[in-house]
Structure 1
Amino acid sequence: MDSTWLVLLSLALGLVVGAGFVWLLHSAASRSHRATEIVSPTVPDGVDQVLEALPTAGIVVDPSNNVVRASAGAYGLGLVWNAALSQARMVELVDEVRRTGEPIAEDLELARSTLGDATVQLTVRVARLGSRYILLLADDRTEAVRLEQVRRDFVANISHELKTPIGAISVLAEALESAPDDQEQVRHFASRLTSEAGRLARLTQDIIDLSRLQAAEIVPHAERVSIDEVVASAVDQNRVLAESRGIQLATGRASHAVVFGDESVLTTAVHNLVSNAVRYSPDKTRVGIGTRLADGVVEIAVTDQGPGIPSEDLERVFERFYRVDQARSRATGGTGLGLSIVKHAVQNHGGEVRVWSQPGRGSTFTIRLPEAEHIAPSADVTASETAEVAQGERTR
């Protein structure tokens, strides 16, 4: 009897111990699973696909502000570094959304990296993603902000540039009215009035030309154009002014080069370069205009013996209304739009314009265009297709 009870007691004790051991194993496994979920969190289904499809930069962070998902755009903007947000302000926005639960939108100007001073303009939106995660979206508005600033500057510059000749015309008209019997004064004021009216007309025409060039990415009606004829026409337009100051316009030998494009637009571009060279050259000096054909590229170079351009201004000389020397430019009658017109005219023909200059050694502006024979379009190619081919040749 005693032995039977001992057996039953042993069995019961074994069952209790076994059940306890199984419970311990289950508990340990549960804790391990929960720990795994914390260490390696799983974002909601579909988030990866959404981030790939978004045109903006997208980032998902966990409760410890670790970046668990990020789009290529986020890395491209430098917003993620070493699996963490690289911008302190973004971390602050994430913490605020986690604390309040309310989404936030804010415009930020952030450094693109710690290696330079380049910045990006972003519109950032931060909101909860489920109960654990925070979703951050960043829309890059850098180019839009830059264009808006350019627009504001353009309007301000136009207002300023128009104000000067209009004011001068008004004053001269009053002076003429007050001295009708003084023939000498009348002739003087009339000459000044004609000069200011011409300046106003040139500025207005330059604004119109630049607007047309910027509105069209390619030449709408491209034809075969002789570069020698373009150069000859541009030189003739500046010959009277050059001879009045004893400046020699020296042209090189004929290149016989042909390009596809608009002859009047190309003539305007070369004319602007020659006109600039004449206006900024000292009296009794020389302006050289040369053409060259090499490897399917036509080059038109205009060289002067003027004061030159400082290195810090070389990157900006093609901007609208930008002048290296404000006083000298106004004295020579420049509108501040000539080089900008050159840049857009050449780009619309699939080419580029370059500048070399050193203070005291003069400047050389070079237009580079794809040669028509090098492009060799068939007879049924449209003008727009021809310009697109030219653009491709330039970027190869």
Structure 2
Amino acid sequence: MNSRRPPALPPGVRRGRVRRVRNLGGVTDPVSIVTAALLALLVVAVAVLAFRTSERQLRPAPSPAGPEVDVDGDLVGLLGHLAAASVVLGPGDVVLRASAPAHALGVVRGGQLAHAELATLAAEARVEGGSREVQLSLPRGPAAGAGRFVAAVQVVALAGDRVLVLVEDRTAQIRLDDVRRDFVANVSHELKTPVGAIALLAETLTEAADDPDAVRTFAERMGRESRRLSGLVQDIIDLSRLQDADVNLESRAVPADEIVREAISRASVEARARDIAIHAGSGRDLALQGDPGLLVTALRNLLDNALRYSEPGTRIAVGVRQGDDDLVEIAVVDQGIGIDPENLPRVFERFYRVDPARSRLTGGTGLGLSIVKHVAADHGGEVTVWSTPGRGSTFTLRIPAATVPPPESTTEAPA
């Protein structure tokens, strides 16, 4: 019987007895070995979970375009930049958000919408969805005599049974559009009158070519209508320039007496024609800060207005004095027909005439006092009026004062 001999060992190595290791970590039971393995796997899983959690915390926040965007926060930020009054309504029309203009305009009071019309629109939008735009006339306050404003309202249905209400006050814009429309209509009417008169006079003049007296009479009337038309066009140009927000004033210190003398000089021809005397007081070295040309135009318009509404043989006085608040006051006092109290608030409106028949007879354009008002406002001043029917009127132009620079000293040779 052959037996396999063990392989030879290298020189110097002794053959020893090999013993099998039956003790694995001190655990000899198979059940204990399985339990230890499961425990090791659990420890590894916990470590991996902790690593992934820390990695997620260190990861940058998602972009606003992602699915985790706070829509309510973005909506509030957007409404904060709107000039219109904005209100976000929840279920039951509870006010969730209301901007400062919404409270200032009176759209929201006591946590609720203040106007039933807005609540009705919100209910319709909540039921039907979408958006709607309307224009409403809403009261400014809860009082019975409160004024009203024109509101452009937009109602939009949002998610979650919410509704967005936007209210914009359009009163000033509507009033401006009305003023422009009335101005165009008035200008057209005022231009049509002298143009039609000139055309009719020209036709009549042609037919009366053989009558020298008739030719002279019609020619004088044509000249008067032409001057009226020219004055109206010039007043429209001046008023348009003064209403420009970027009006360029050649402001400087100008003596008040200089303004008064120039204005009286320009009105002297008409004053002599109407047999009305103009007297002026001294300004006592007072000076105005402003554009000399515009100031003379304003004072000239006040004188023209006094001449048109004064009777022949009366007088007009121009006084200058130092007023309050560092203002110089130039008053034009006449002995004319006066103005009724109910007409005083409207005398500075464009094309408004206290006596339309008298104004047309004297050649007034209806823009003179409006020009005075704009000149005063552009200079940081104002114009006021006091009047009593049958006793005359007093128009006072108040312009900021200035100091007159001392004249340069000159050396003259003896006479």
TM-score band w.r.t. shorter chain:
0.7 to 0.9
The equivalent of 1:94 in structure 2 is 122
Offset of residue 217 of structure 1: 4.7
The equivalent of 2:295 in structure 1 is 266
Check whether the contact 1:219–1:261 (CA below 8 A) recurs between aligned residues.
Answer: no
2:118 is paired with a residue whose SS is helix
Which consecutive unaligned segments of at least 5 residues does structure 2 have?
1-70, 406-415
Q: Which of residues 170, 180, 183 in structure 1 aligns to 2:199?
A: 170
The equivalent of 1:248 in structure 2 is 277
The equivalent of 1:142 in structure 2 is 171
1:64 is paired with a residue whose SS is helix
Mapped to 2, the partners of 1:192 and 1:246 lie a distance apart of: 21
Check whether the contact 1:222–1:260 (CA below 8 A) recurs between aligned residues.
Answer: yes
Mapped to 2, the partners of 1:297 and 1:217 lie a distance apart of: 24
Mapped to 2, the partners of 1:256 and 1:154 lie a distance apart of: 41
Q: Which of residues 336, 352, 359 in structure 2 aligns to 1:306?
A: 336
The equivalent of 1:65 in structure 2 is 93
Does the C-alpha gap of structure 1 residues 83 and 358 become closer, same or farther in structure 2, counting only changes over 3 Å?
A: farther
**Structure 2: which amino acid aligns with 1:251?**
A
1:125 is paired with a residue whose SS is strand
Check whether the contact 1:127–1:134 (CA below 8 A) recurs between aligned residues.
Answer: yes
- Farther-moved stretch of structure 1 (148-157 vs 318-327): 318-327
Mapped to 1, the partners of 2:251 and 2:319 lie a distance apart of: 24
Q: Which of residues 164, 183, 190 in structure 2 aligns to 1:154?
A: 183
Superposition CA RMSD, Å: 2.0
* Aligned pairs for 1:275-294 within 5 A: 275-294=304-323
Check whether the contact 2:257–2:282 (CA below 8 A) recurs between aligned residues.
Answer: no
Offset of residue 58 of structure 1: 0.6
Offset of residue 69 of structure 1: 2.1
1:215 is paired with a residue whose SS is coil
The equivalent of 1:329 in structure 2 is 359
Tell me, yes or no, if structure 1 residue 345 matches structure 2 residue 375.
yes
Question: Across the two proteins, how many residue pairs are aligned to each other?
Answer: 334
Where is the helix percentage greater, Structure 1 or Structure 2? 1
Offset of residue 340 of structure 1: 0.9
The equivalent of 2:46 in structure 1 is none
Superposed CA deviations along residues 197-254 of structure 1, whole A, max 9, x for unmatched, are 1110110111111111112555432222111111111112222322333322121223
* Aligned pairs for 1:182-221 within 5 A: 182-221=211-250
**Structure 1: which amino acid aligns with 2:377?**
Q
**Structure 1: which amino acid aligns with 2:358?**
R
**Structure 1: which amino acid aligns with 2:197?**
A
Mapped to 2, the partners of 1:77 and 1:360 lie a distance apart of: 45
Does the C-alpha gap of structure 1 residues 136 and 48 become closer, same or farther in structure 2, counting only changes over 3 Å?
A: same
Offset of residue 137 of structure 1: 0.5
Q: Which of residues 391, 397, 404 in structure 2 aligns to 1:361?
A: 391
Check whether the contact 1:217–1:348 (CA below 8 A) recurs between aligned residues.
Answer: no
Does the C-alpha gap of structure 1 residues 256 and 237 become closer, same or farther in structure 2, counting only changes over 3 Å?
A: same
Tell me, yes or no, if structure 1 residue 127 matches structure 2 residue 156.
yes
Check whether the contact 1:254–1:291 (CA below 8 A) recurs between aligned residues.
Answer: yes
Percent of paired sites with the same residue: 50
The equivalent of 2:107 in structure 1 is 79
Does the C-alpha gap of structure 1 residues 288 and 137 become closer, same or farther in structure 2, counting only changes over 3 Å?
A: same
Which consecutive unaligned segments of at least 5 residues does structure 1 have?
1-42, 377-396
Offset of residue 270 of structure 1: 0.2
Superposed CA deviations along residues 124-164 of structure 1, whole A, max 9, x for unmatched, are 11012321211100111111111111111111011000000
Q: Which of residues 78, 81, 105 in structure 1 aligns to 2:133?
A: 105
Q: Which of residues 247, 250, 267 in structure 2 aligns to 1:238?
A: 267
Mapped to 2, the partners of 1:66 and 1:346 lie a distance apart of: 50
- Farther-moved stretch of structure 1 (89-98 vs 164-173): 89-98
Mapped to 2, the partners of 1:314 and 1:214 lie a distance apart of: 22
Mapped to 2, the partners of 1:187 and 1:307 lie a distance apart of: 33
Check whether the contact 1:219–1:349 (CA below 8 A) recurs between aligned residues.
Answer: no
Offset of residue 107 of structure 1: 1.4
Check whether the contact 1:219–1:262 (CA below 8 A) recurs between aligned residues.
Answer: no
**Structure 2: which amino acid aligns with 1:108?**
L
1:181 is paired with a residue whose SS is coil
Check whether the contact 1:225–1:260 (CA below 8 A) recurs between aligned residues.
Answer: yes
The equivalent of 2:41 in structure 1 is none
2:345 is paired with a residue whose SS is helix
Mapped to 1, the partners of 2:299 and 2:249 lie a distance apart of: 20
The equivalent of 1:56 in structure 2 is 84
TM-score if structure 2 supplies the norm length? 0.76
The equivalent of 2:64 in structure 1 is none
Offset of residue 74 of structure 1: 1.2
Check whether the contact 1:58–1:136 (CA below 8 A) recurs between aligned residues.
Answer: yes
